[in-house]
């Protein structure tokens, strides 16, 4: 093994490690998002349904791989391996058609572009799999030397690539092979141009698939399984396809004139500059942060959510929703609710919207509160709102849990039997199925037993997006539901409805003697607004809180113009500051 080969192996290994670390450390929320929105089933029916559509084999392979994203380290390794495969296959193609001085360095262009493709959170891994399939087929076609056979084989293999992996795989197969022929001149230039035009066969293939299938012609032309939202066009994917073609042409027609000594500089620009561009332009850190909140809530990592909010204040209302849930689950909501910038009651209850990410964030809150029927509705809506109509292991699993809590045994059994055909949830499903068949009664201190004791058993009409009345019903049904009390009281403070807060509070103190800091502050404010003697407050409020309130009110009275600025540092996380702050009234 010569030194050059050792260096190339070292560089490729370093590239793999870099991509792996980036995805493992900075994209674990994105991996969880991909994993929860699929459900790979080890059944013959699932296989037949998958491969019966255009690009179905690539989609089947993708779902098989994505199920391993449940472990972020394995998921990052899979993405890194596919990105590196793009580089390796590109280099094998370039090496077989030319002795370019910088062919190895140029082969990183398609690889970096492939990394960019996966930056958009609604791009499916199918896009990356299709690129790999297309490049692998090009390597096979390069073994055919006879001109006529070569042209026929390229068109035939291109059609096969279309039906197996979609439009992108077909274009890579045909256009890259044509580019190779132009570089090597093993086929006359005229024939190579005709070969390039043979990419028009994609229209013929799409028309055939449209005639005998159910998908629209537009969807068949751009690719069915590349984007989670079918109406979106996979721009980055097709930019990568044509970047690969241009790279092959450049390697053979231009790069021979480039001195080998410049290759190190080219490599530095391609790897460092291209990767930086991919991260800065194609990956959305704000969206990743949102997906990480969802992932942590799914894993019940409540303290990690709170730490994340302490490190960087939440921006999205869904993040506030998960943060408040985490505070409630750690019994800190009535202590720290106003330490972050709240967005009125939507911070507690995300308004209903038929979008999968919106529905599940609200559904999680309703589940833990004991609104099991409302939670199930949100998860059912989330499942139906997945744009590409995949099943979801997260949603199916949660609906099975809710059915177990509700004692809806037949419905629970249906979902559990589905999960038994998965790789990572089959053992859990088998255990729950045994409980389902035995009509299990869960212990009061278990999650299912606790929520079962919280849930309402009487039917009533629920006003749309008006959850205040339901919370009242929850605490009436079970006064020990501390989380429901906190949500009832905090929601009124967020909406600045002091009169309703007082009404709820008078019922709260019948069951709980201790007053958390937030409630102490709110009671002081309500008492002062009623113009009653502050010394006659019948509740146990600390002297420190009273002193702080007096200072706050005096500052507000004596410095009306700049009171907000003076009080923000020491009182910005208090109920009083929130109630007087006009910026959160919008």
Tell me the pLDDT band of 228, cut-offs 50, 70 and 90: very high
pLDDT at 215: 80
Mean pLDDT, the chain, rounded, equals 86
Residue 123 backbone dihedrals phi, psi, to 5 degrees: -80, 130
- As a whole number, mean pLDDT of residues 36-51 equals 95
For 390-430, what is each residue's pLDDT tens digit? Answer: 999 999 999 999 999 999 999 999 999 999 999 999 999 99
Beta bridge partners of 123: 227
DSSP code for 351: P
pLDDT in tens, 307-362: 999 998 888 889 999 999 999 999 999 999 888 777 666 778 887 777 788 888 88
Long-range CB contact pairs, 256-263, < 8 A, 24+: 256/98, 256/99, 256/100, 256/101, 258/101, 258/102, 259/101, 260/101, 260/102, 262/102, 263/101, 263/102, 263/104, 263/105
Instruction: Choose among 453, 481, 485: nearest CA to 468.
Output: 485
Phi, psi angle pair for 392, to nearest 5°: -135, 125
Q: Which of 93, 96, 106 is nearest to 250 (CA)?
A: 106
Sequence-distant (≥ 6) Cβ neighbours of residue 133 within 8 angstroms: 58, 161, 164, 165, 169
- 274 or 69, greater pLDDT: 69
Domain spans in the chain, listed from the N-terminal domain onward? 14-283, 287-454, 513-585
Asked if 284 contacts 121 with a C-beta cutoff of 8 angstroms, the reply is yes
State how far the Cα of 394 lies from the Cα of 428, in Å rounded to an integer.
13
- Tell me, what's the pLDDT at 6? 87
Q: What angle do CA 544, 546, 552 make, to 5 degrees?
A: 105
Q: Which helix (H) or strand (E) holds 557?
A: helix 543-558
**DSSP 3-state helix, strand, coil percentages of the chain (rounded to 5)?**
75, 0, 25
Mean pLDDT for 39-53 is 94
Q: Which numeric CATH code is attached to 287-454?
A: 1.25.40.10
Question: What is the average pLDDT across 185-207?
Answer: 65
Q: pTM score, two decimals?
A: 0.91
Tell me the average pLDDT across 136-158: 84
Report the distance separating Cα 537 and Cα 477, nearest Å. 29
**Cα gap 224→56, rounded to integer Å:** 9
């Amino acid at each position: 093994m010569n030194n050059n080969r050792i260096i190339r192996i070292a560089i490729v290994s370093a590239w793999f490690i870099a991509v792996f670390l980036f995805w493992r450390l900075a994209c674990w929320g994105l991996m969880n998002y991909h994993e929860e929105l699929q459900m790979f089933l080890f059944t013959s029916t699932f296989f037949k349904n998958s491969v019966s559509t255009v690009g179905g084999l690539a989609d089947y392979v993708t779902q098989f791989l994505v199920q391993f994203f449940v472990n972020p380290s394995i998921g990052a390794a899979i993405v890194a391996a596919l990105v590196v495969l793009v580089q390796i296959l590109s280099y094998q193609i370039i090496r077989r058609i030319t002795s370019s001085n910088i062919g190895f360095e140029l082969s990183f262009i398609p690889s970096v572009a492939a990394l960019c493709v996966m930056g958009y959170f609604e791009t499916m891994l199918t896009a990356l799999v299709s690129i790999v399939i297309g490049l692998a087929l090009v390597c096979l076609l390069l073994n055919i030397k006879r001109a006529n056979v070569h042209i026929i084989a390229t068109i035939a293999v291109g059609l096969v690539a279309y039906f197996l992996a979609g439009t992108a795989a077909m274009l890579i197969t045909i256009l890259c092979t044509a580019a190779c022929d132009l570089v090597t001149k093993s086929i006359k230039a005229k024939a190579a141009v005709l070969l390039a035009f043979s990419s028009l066969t994609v229209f013929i293939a799409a028309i055939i698939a449209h005639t005998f299938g159910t998908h629209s012609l537009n969807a068949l032309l751009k690719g069915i399984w590349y984007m989670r939202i079918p109406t979106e066009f996979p721009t980055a994917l097709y930019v990568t396809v044509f970047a690969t073609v241009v790279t092959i042409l450049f390697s053979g027609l231009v790069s021979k004139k480039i001195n080998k000594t410049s290759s190190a500089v080219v490599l530095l620009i391609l790897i460092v500059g291209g990767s930086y561009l991919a991260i800065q332009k194609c990956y959305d850190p704000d969206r990743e942060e949102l997906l990480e909140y969802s992932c942590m809530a799914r894993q019940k990592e409540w303290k990690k959510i709170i730490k994340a909010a302490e490190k960087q204040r939440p921006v999205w209302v869904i993040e506030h929703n998960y943060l408040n849930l985490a505070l409630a689950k750690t019994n800190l909501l009535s202590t720290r609710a106003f330490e972050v910038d709240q967005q009125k009651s939507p911070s507690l209850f995300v308004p209903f919207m038929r979008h999968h990410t919106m529905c599940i964030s609200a559904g999680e809150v309703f589940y833990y509160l004991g609104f099991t029927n409302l939670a199930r509705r949100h998860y059912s809506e989330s499942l139906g709102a997945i744009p590409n109509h995949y099943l979801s292991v997260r949603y199916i699993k949660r609906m099975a849990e809710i059915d177990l809590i509700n004692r809806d045994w037949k419905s629970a059994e249906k979902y559990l039997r589905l999960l038994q055909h998965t790789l990572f949830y089959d053992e859990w499903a088998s255990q729950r199925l045994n409980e389902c068949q035995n009509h299990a009664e869960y212990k009061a201190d278990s999650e299912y037993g606790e929520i079962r004791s919280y849930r309402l058993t009487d039917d009533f009409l629920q006003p749309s997006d008006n959850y205040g009345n339901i919370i009242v019903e929850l605490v009436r049904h079970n006064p020990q539901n501390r989380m429901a009390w906190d949500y009832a009281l905090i929601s009124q403070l967020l909406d600045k409805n002091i009169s309703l807060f007082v009404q709820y509070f008078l019922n709260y103190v019948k069951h709980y003697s201790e007053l958390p800091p937030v409630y102490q502050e709110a009671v002081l404010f309500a008492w002062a607004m009623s113009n009653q003697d502050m010394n006659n407050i019948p509740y146990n409020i600390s002297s420190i809180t009273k002193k702080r309130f007096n200072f706050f009110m005096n500052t507000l009275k004596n410095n009306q113009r700049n009171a907000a600025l003076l009080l923000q540092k020491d009182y910005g996380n208090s109920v009083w500051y929130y109630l007087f702050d006009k910026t959160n009234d919008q």
